[in-house]
Structure 1
Amino acid sequence: MTRIEANDLFDIYGPLLTERQREILALSIQEDLSFGEIAAELGISRAAAADAVKRGETLLSQYEKRLGVAGIRRKVLELLEGQPALQDQVRQLYASAGVPSSTF
């Protein structure tokens, strides 16, 4: 999973994670911290940080496999390419559904 894919999935499915999972994945995905840096920040071992990041990314992948929100969003973007008025309408729909604007 690329950093961009992980960030998209985190934006979409982050609310489904526990607070601690969100905290650790935010440090990894959004802040781009290494396992060692995460460990130092949270007072845990490097191995615990690595395990938590891997488990969190696995959960994000599983959510996407089951729900497919990111894949649908990509298809919608492809269909709307070059149509700014429709893009704005879709952004409004996503916003009304509570999907973060950074995911569109």
Structure 2
Amino acid sequence: MPDAISRIPLVLVLLPMVGALGVVGASKFRDHWRSRMINAITFATLVMALWQFYLVQQGKVLVYVLEGFMGFGLRWRVDHVSAIFSVVVAAVWFLATIFAREYI
């Protein structure tokens, strides 16, 4: 399988982190907006995980490298197994968020 440089793995890591800041901002207005923001972030994460899975199914191995990060660097490599795992985690997270509406 050929390696393909892609920013999707980086986006899948950063989207929930950046989205958490949006949730903090939305929670200052109303609980309703906070819940909608949380649902939107988890749904967007699920969509990105599914898109990543689709690309891996096409025979690509997604790779993204941050050279020199904290002196060592970071390397994300997404193959078939890790793509399935990310879809399962994102789907469970999305469903848990929807069904935990009264707790959030």
TM over 0.5: no
Q: TM-score, normalising length from structure 2?
A: 0.35
Q: TM-score, normalising length from structure 1?
A: 0.35
Q: Does 1 or 2 have the higher relative contact order (CA < 8 Å, sep 6+)?
A: 2
